[in-house]
């Protein structure tokens, strides 16, 4: 690992072993499904609900309608279930997708914008997370999170 530290930030780097995947191939180009939501409310909701998720998959399921996001998780082995609802703006009637809660929360923690946009094309393709407000006029951020298969 290499760590670069200044008064304003800390950057930690790690050299991965093996071939780096072609990131341009996994970033979806046409994302027609877009949701805008409050980042902190979403992070808090996923944190709370993921307590009841399966400890191996950390799966949370987002069920999205045009005005509401339902965050759900369950652990069938211990008969635990968590559910929360949030207000959102979504341009489709309904959509359902699963994510690893730990990775999702880590991504939401580093974004500084109050609101975020999550763009999707299909439940099996990656989702693009971007802040609604840019950090600075000449700087932008785009994050890719891959979905997990939703268990029934």
Helices within the chain (DSSP H only): 23-26, 39-50, 101-110
- DSSP conformational letter for 21: P
Rg (the chain; Cα; Å): 16
Are 38 and 131 in contact, with CB atoms under 8 Å apart? Answer: no
To the question of pTM greater than 0.75 for the whole model, the response is yes
Instruction: Tell me the pLDDT band of 79, cut-offs 50, 70 and 90.
Output: confident
Residue 18 has pLDDT above 90, yes or no: no
């Amino acid at each position: 690992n290499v760590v670069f530290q200044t008064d304003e930030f800390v950057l930690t780097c790690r050299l991965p072993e093996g071939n780096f995947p072609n990131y341009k191939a996994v970033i979806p180009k046409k994302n027609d499904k877009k949701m805008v939501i409050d980042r902190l409310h979403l992070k808090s909701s996923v944190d709370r609900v993921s307590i009841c998720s399966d400890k191996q998959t950390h799966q949370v399921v987002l069920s999205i309608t045009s005005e509401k996001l339902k965050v759900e998780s369950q652990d069938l082995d211990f008969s635990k279930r968590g559910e929360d609802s949030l207000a959102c703006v979504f341009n489709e009637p309904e959509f359902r997708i699963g994510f690893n809660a730990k990775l999702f929360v880590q991504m939401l923690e580093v974004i500084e914008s109050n609101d975020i946009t999550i763009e999707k094309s299909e439940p099996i393709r990656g989702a693009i997370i971007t802040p609604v407000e840019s950090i600075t006029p000449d700087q932008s951020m785009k994050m890719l999170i891959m979905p997990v298969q939703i268990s029934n």
